[in-house]
Structure 1
């Protein structure tokens, strides 16, 4: 099989393995190095130290895996059926979880399929050396995907495809064979700035540049400390990730539902009531989140995010009871619980002695508690 035939066959095999689109590119990402270094120098990566630790290796695939001359970039759609975006975000007594995390953790699934693709190529190419990656190594997967023709980098920094929007995962197979490369994608965003203007925290500070320190996905997933007060209200009921910049993107009108059942909503999220989710102890959380990307944030961070959402929910006595009952277990959690109690107290109307008594009680709890940003 010659290399042109092999490249076409790779795309056939990839679709058989569940990928919706595959492209091939060379490994030259030198044009992205200056922008990457500037992004790191400005601290936009927040506390994700691993992003800075590897330096420019992210833009040099052959340093990551010596001998690499081509990257096979693959896309797998994840949009679940009955995504319920608007209804879930509007009902603030319900937790909003980014749609990519409603099903099974994609890392192993996508990586395993890439490995199978490598094994199929290996049967045709003697001496093939390959290595699959899915968010598992310091590599600029989005520039590679654009170079391989999978889509262009939108103003929200995600890869966009004209026919499928952005609801998909990316994975890479690094190989040591000089396959023919595909035509890079060109920018199709035009003058649209919907993603920038709709970001709840203003995290998209320039076209294609995200300050992770302001991003709700970063704050709820990657950041394990005290969430700055300025971001708590904008978080709303988003307890794991945020899809807002994708929701408003016109290209996502064309996105198709994933045929991969592992990415469909798991039963434990059919009822995402805030109080119900906060009732899980650590053992229950770990059990219910087996096979989920959410499991890695841990129980304390899960509760922290839920307590902030409770502060943004309409006043309910059961929410107040849950918050009060959770005080004293963790200083980090107490900071967010006390803030949430204060938000609940502010929603109580005045006018009756019973309501006034409840309000004063909540205020006393907050006043006796930890300082807001201790």
Structure 2
């Protein structure tokens, strides 16, 4: 097998099917990553969303017998919405992070990887592979870094020369011994803009993230949002882009290369008030195709109420009162009460005082007390 010629053919084909960058890495153990993962676990910095053990996440041979190489791919996504709707008084809007614009990137990258695998199967006898995107055991970033897609920035994203950090990553473990590409030199230097800009201090130091403090994680939790994050979340409904938005390497970067990733303005920046009472069917019809859908309706509704409180949107008071009095979910009732207190109109406060005497859930009552307490400060 002429692996040099094969590699050239695969690179050429990858461009035909819409892969923006492709790199090749060895399937050796990710020794340094394994050490970092162990430290992250000891510090309780992991999010809990990660799949697999430290060994499975760093030893490709455990995932594919006979693993020799890993192919890493990257697809660029936009950093700006075309004709974004305005958030105005009486019609306030929330925002989904850029990685949740357009069709769920997991599906798009899996499609590209499957096309790549089919091409290789027709050309290589006894070819075997295993592909994954984000939710697999391997670290997409560690593979991309080893494969020369880009360098790992202090904000823990892969930063490419062409597209900045606005790229989705995926990889394919194979039994083909491709010649690996060379890693890209780290170019962050002394810059620490992302560390200083992080709203919660989740970037502990360059390249180290306390995932549990990251707003991207917190927007996806299903319990009451901890008090310390409620003033930080702002209008975020899902995810956080701050550490990418401030990165000098992303200045002026905005690629619209894939129709699948184009933001639908009313989905990427939805009106907040309609989200409070959206039915399961309506929620699926509007948001079911985006990556931000995976955690379900509850976190997004909770975040929408916190965003309305951020705006002190008095036009939402009646809707919030209805939710506080009638929703069957304690977290939603309690967050509505907290938001009403934050908005602080007379009508809102009276409604909380009336509801607190009927409420039987202690956690909801506590949120109601917090709402009333805002006016005492």
Would the TM-score normalized by the shorter structure come out above 0.5?
yes
* Residue 39 of structure 1: aligned partner: 40
Report the CA distance between 1:270 and its aligned residue.
6.7
Structure 1: segments with no counterpart, 5+ residues: 349-356
Deviates more, 1:229-238 or 1:88-97: 88-97
1:175-214 correspondence to structure 2 within 5 Å: 175-214=174-213
* Residue 218 of structure 2: aligned partner: 219
Q: Does the 8 A contact of 1:32 with 1:59 survive in 2?
A: yes
* Residue 361 of structure 1: aligned partner: 350
Report the CA distance between 1:360 and its aligned residue.
4.5
Cα distance change, pair 102–58 in 1 and its aligned pair in 2 (3 A): same
Report the CA distance between 1:276 and its aligned residue.
2.6
Cα distance change, pair 365–307 in 1 and its aligned pair in 2 (3 A): farther
When normalised by structure 1's length, the TM-score is 0.89
Q: Tell me the C-alpha RMSD between the 2 structures.
A: 2.5
Question: Following the alignment from structure 2 to structure 1, what is the Cα–Cα distance between the partners of residues 163 and 351?
Answer: 48
Deviates more, 1:162-171 or 1:234-243: 162-171
* Residue 295 of structure 1: aligned partner: 293
Question: Following the alignment from structure 2 to structure 1, what is the Cα–Cα distance between the partners of residues 252 and 260?
Answer: 22
Q: Deviations over 1:254-284 (max 9, x none)?
A: 5241321111112642762211333421221
* Residue 306 of structure 2: aligned partner: 308
Runs of 4+ in 1 over 3 A off after TM superposition: 83-92, 357-360, 365-369
Q: Deviations over 1:293-332 (max 9, x none)?
A: 122211222211111111111332x211121111142111
Structure 2: segments with no counterpart, 5+ residues: 358-363, 370-377
* Residue 170 of structure 1: aligned partner: 169
Question: Following the alignment from structure 2 to structure 1, what is the Cα–Cα distance between the partners of residues 111 and 304?
Answer: 33
1:118-267 correspondence to structure 2 within 5 Å: 118-221=117-220, 223-266=221-264
* Residue 108 of structure 1: aligned partner: 107
When normalised by structure 2's length, the TM-score is 0.88
Cα distance change, pair 321–86 in 1 and its aligned pair in 2 (3 A): closer
Q: Does the 8 A contact of 1:44 with 1:213 survive in 2?
A: yes
Secondary structure at 2:367 match in 1: coil
Question: Following the alignment from structure 1 to structure 2, what is the Cα–Cα distance between the partners of residues 248 and 78?
Answer: 17
Question: Following the alignment from structure 1 to structure 2, what is the Cα–Cα distance between the partners of residues 265 and 174?
Answer: 31
* Residue 275 of structure 1: aligned partner: 273
Question: Following the alignment from structure 1 to structure 2, what is the Cα–Cα distance between the partners of residues 55 and 293?
Answer: 25
Question: Following the alignment from structure 2 to structure 1, what is the Cα–Cα distance between the partners of residues 109 and 192?
Answer: 31
Report the CA distance between 1:55 and its aligned residue.
2.7
Matching of residue 16 in structure 1 with residue 16 in structure 2: yes
Question: Following the alignment from structure 1 to structure 2, what is the Cα–Cα distance between the partners of residues 202 and 86?
Answer: 30
* Residue 321 of structure 1: aligned partner: 318
